[in-house]
């Protein structure tokens, strides 16, 4: 099964996420449903179902106090002129949380992340952006780059199963770790 470790964005931010996504309605992007928007802390990839209890037990060893995150600003990967992903910025103690998760799962030999961890929540995937719309897109990005989304308490991480379907992914929480 496809699995990952995530921090969910709270329901209180879903309305603001919808507002932002509506601003991009002129573009044919693949939007993430607001109730599925999350911060991926570690993508595990395909894991045998039999290893889920051991992964869950390992995640129980994560030591990180709960913290508050300021969700603010819009950005893209890899860069504005060649955007593939539109994301929300998230600050807070995510680096420590990431290190703790990475250390807790080190014995499983999951593939190492090639880039530096950057806490973000994906809003949309850009499959195609016509040249004639690129300027409008870049202007909108510039307008929203410092947009205020809100605050959230980060007090748990979740091990999730991801089932890909033609209508989009279905996420199921397999295990939750309350931060203390």
Q: Which pair of structure tokens corresponds to residue 180?
A: 């203390």
When pLDDT is cut at 50, 70 and 90, the band that residue 110 belongs to is confident
Do 18 and 36 form a contact (C-beta atoms < 8 A)?
A: no
Mean pLDDT over 45-60 rounds to: 97
The enclosing domain of 97 has a CATH number of: 3.90.1140.10
> Which of 91, 106, 92, 93 minimizes the C-alpha distance to 42?
106
Start-to-end C-alpha separation, the chain: 29
Tell me whether residue 175 is one of the annotated catalytic residues: no
- The pTM for the full model equals 0.94
Marked catalytic residue, from 38, 70, 115, 175 = 38
pLDDT at 71 over 80: yes
Q: Give pLDDT, residue 33.
A: 95
Domain count, the chain: 1
Q: Give pLDDT, residue 150.
A: 96
Q: Give pLDDT, residue 111.
A: 77
Tell me whether residue 120 is one of the annotated catalytic residues: yes
Range of the domain at 160: 2-178
pLDDT at 114 over 80: no
Average pLDDT, the chain: 95
> Which of 55, 65, 61, 68 minimizes the C-alpha distance to 159?
55
Burial of 59 (0-12, 13-18, 19+ CB in 10 A): buried
CA contacts within 13 A on the Cβ side of 14: 9
């Amino acid at each position: 099964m496809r699995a990952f470790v995530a921090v969910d964005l709270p329901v209180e931010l879903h309305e603001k996420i919808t507002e932002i996504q509506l601003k991009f309605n002129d573009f044919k992007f693949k939007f993430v449903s607001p109730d599925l928007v999350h911060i991926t802390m570690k993508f595990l990839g395909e894991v045998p179902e039999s290893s889920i209890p051991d992964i869950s037990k390992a995640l129980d060893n994560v030591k990180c106090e709960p913290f508050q995150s300021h969700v603010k600003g819009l950005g893209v990967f890899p860069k504005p002129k060649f955007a593939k992903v539109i994301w929300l910025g998230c600050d807070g103690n995510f680096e420590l949380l990431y290190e703790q998760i990475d250390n807790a799962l080190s014995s499983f030999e999951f593939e190492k992340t090639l880039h530096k961890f950057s806490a973000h929540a994906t809003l949309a995937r850009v499959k195609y952006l016509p040249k004639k719309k690129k300027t409008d897109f870049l202007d909108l990005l510039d307008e929203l780059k410092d947009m205020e989304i809100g605050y959230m308490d980060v007090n748990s991480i979740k091990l999730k199963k991801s089932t890909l379907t033609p209508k989009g992914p279905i996420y199921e929480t397999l295990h939750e770790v309350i931060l203390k």
